[in-house]
């Protein structure tokens, strides 16, 4: 029975049900065969597990029958005890060792039939199970028994299974040949096209793919549903990319000034130190703290304080080169990373320019004019620190010296003691 598709006229294409009515007998046969084949592997696994259990039982049985022979180091008796059990089981090789790990007796299946040779090959290829047990006497280990399965039981099952599979495959091929000319064009090809496009979308993230129209109404509906899903996926991916970009920016940038934050700065600083080592240049860190910022906040309000921070960020940034980096660490603390620096004098001149630029008066939202300043601490890599942490600490200490001395000025860090010792040598 055909049904109306929403917003579309009744399709004249045959329905999926009408096609399946003509093919369900053949498809049922194929399904039964496939289900039957799917039982071979679990049965083989179960047989392998059972054989492994039997091998362990045989090893434990040999432990008791060979105990006396091992204690008295009677190799003939040990071999006879092993052979009496091994010949009755699925064992290819058995070895008996004394307490010193020396081989006392061994037994190997001497059968030279074709099936035995095939079993040996199968055991090697399939990594047939082994079993190892320790022989105890008066609470002490006096020896060890090692068994290796022959694989004859498993090979026999696999050969029988292979014959059954071959027979079923013949039936399945004959059935497929009969059914293919009836259902390939109407069902298989549209489904293959849909699966291929869905796979491309999944693997290549190519959601611009679209499913072509099908001659069967239900398959055509399915294809159109997939196309609508791909349209939504396109929209979702665009939205997700935009949101991810915004989240990444927020995670690494200060929301007020738009400058990168401390985490971003520390990552860039670590890379800059490696670059300085490779290029033979210097890297510098300027640690900067605002002077009198709390008074501005208390007197004029937080909006005015935010205006001051935004202006400081802009004024520091306009002094720097494109390859340099200025970040807001938090509150009224800022940091600058200078790379490819040749001399300390270059850094000091940049620090002086920043200090002068920040001291220029600015107008608050209420119309008031205020002057601000930054106390700046300078640290050079590697003179003032051999890693990012020590370099920041040196710059921070220098900044506090500048704040105690003359606010709005700069101070250079004291060279690291460890480096002084290296230079003295």
Count of the separate structural domains present in the chain: 2
Together in a domain, 230 and 282: no
Last residue of a domain, one of 252, 284, 303: 252
Q: Are residues 247 and 289 in the same domain?
A: no
In this structure, the answer to whether residues 36 and 162 fall within a common structural domain is yes
Return the higher-pLDDT residue of 118 and 299.
299
Average pLDDT over residues 365-384: 90
Mean pLDDT of the chain: 76
pTM recorded for the entire structure: 0.47
Catalytic center residues: 332
From 226, 252, 278, the end of a domain falls on 252
- 3-state helix/strand/coil string of the chain: CCCCCCCCCCCCCCCHHHHHHHHHHHHHHHHHHHHHHHCHHHHHHHHHHHHHHHHHHHHHHHHHHCHHHHHCCCHHHHHHHHHHHHCCCCEEEEEEEECCCCEEEEEECCCCCHHHHHHHHHHHHCCCCEEEEEEEECCEEEEEEEEEECCHHHHHHHHHHHHHHHHHHHHHHHHHHHHHHHHHHHHHHHHHHHHHHHHHHHHHCCCCCCCCCCCCHHHHHHHHHHHHHHHHHHHHHHHHHHHHHHHHHHHHECCCCCCECHHHHHHHHHHHHHHHHHHCCEEEEEEEEEECHHHHHHHHCHHHHHHHHHHHHHHHHHHCCCCCEEEEEECCEEEEEEEEECCHHHHHHHHHHHHHHHHCCEECCCCCEECCEEEEEEEEECCCCCCHHHHHHHHHHHHHHHHHHCCCCEEECCCCHHHHHHHHC
Domain ends where: 252, 286, 315?
252
Query: What's 416's domain CATH number?
Result: 3.30.70.270
Residue 419 is predicted with a pLDDT of: 38
pLDDT digits (tens, 9 = 90+) for 267-289: 999 999 999 999 888 999 999 99
Is the same domain home to 248 and 284?
no
Per-residue pLDDT band for 151 (boundaries 50, 70, 90) equals low
Asked whether the predicted pLDDT for residue 331 surpasses 60, the reply is yes
């Amino acid at each position: 029975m055909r049904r109306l598709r929403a917003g579309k006229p009744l399709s004249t294409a045959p329905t999926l049900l009408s096609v399946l009515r003509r093919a369900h007998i053949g498809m049922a046969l194929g399904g039964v065969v496939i289900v039957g084949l799917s039982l071979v592997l679990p049965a083989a696994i179960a047989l392998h597990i059972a054989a492994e259990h039997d091998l362990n039982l045989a090893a434990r049985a040999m432990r008791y029958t060979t105990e006396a022979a091992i204690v008295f180091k009677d190799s003939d008796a040990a071999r006879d005890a092993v052979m009496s059990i091994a010949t009755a089981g699925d064992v290819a090789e058995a070895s008996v060792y004394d307490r010193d790990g020396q081989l006392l007796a061994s037994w190997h299946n001497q059968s030279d039939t074709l099936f035995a040779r095939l079993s040996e090959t199968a055991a090697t290829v399939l990594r047939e199970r082994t079993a190892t047990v320790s022989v105890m006497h008066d609470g002490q280990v006096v020896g060890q028994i090692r068994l290796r399965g022959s694989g004859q039981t498993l090979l026999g099952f696999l050969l029988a299974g292979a014959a059954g599979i071959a027979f079923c495959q013949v039936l399945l091929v004959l059935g497929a040949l009969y059914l293919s000319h009836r259902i390939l064009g109407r069902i298989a090809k549209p489904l293959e096209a849909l699966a291929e496009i869905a796979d491309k979308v999944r693997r290549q993230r190519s959601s611009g793919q679209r499913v072509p129209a099908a001659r069967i109404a239900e398959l055509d509906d399915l294809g159109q549903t997939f196309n609508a899903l791909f349209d939504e996926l396109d929209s979702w991916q665009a939205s997700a990319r935009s949101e991810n970009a915004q989240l990444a920016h927020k995670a690494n940038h200060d929301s007020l000034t738009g400058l990168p934050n401390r985490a971003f700065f520390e990552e860039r600083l670590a890379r800059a130190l490696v670059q300085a080592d490779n290029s033979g240049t210097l890297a510098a860190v300027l640690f900067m703290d605002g002077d009198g910022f709390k008074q501005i906040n208390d007197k004029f309000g937080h909006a005015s304080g935010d205006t001051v921070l935004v202006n400081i960020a802009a004024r520091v940034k306009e002094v720097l080169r494109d390859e340099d980096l200025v970040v807001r660490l938090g509150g009224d603390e800022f940091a600058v990373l200078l790379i490819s620096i040749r001399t300390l004098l270059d850094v000091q001149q940049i620090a002086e320019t920043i200090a002068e630029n920040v001291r220029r008066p600015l107008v608050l939202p209420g119309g008031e004019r205020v002057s601000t300043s930054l106390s700046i601490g300078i640290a050079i890599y590697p003179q003032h620190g051999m890693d990012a942490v020590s370099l920041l600490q040196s710059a921070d200490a220098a900044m506090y010296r500048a704040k105690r001395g003359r606010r709005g000025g700069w101070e250079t860090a004291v060279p690291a003691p460890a480096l002084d010792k290296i230079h003295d040598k």
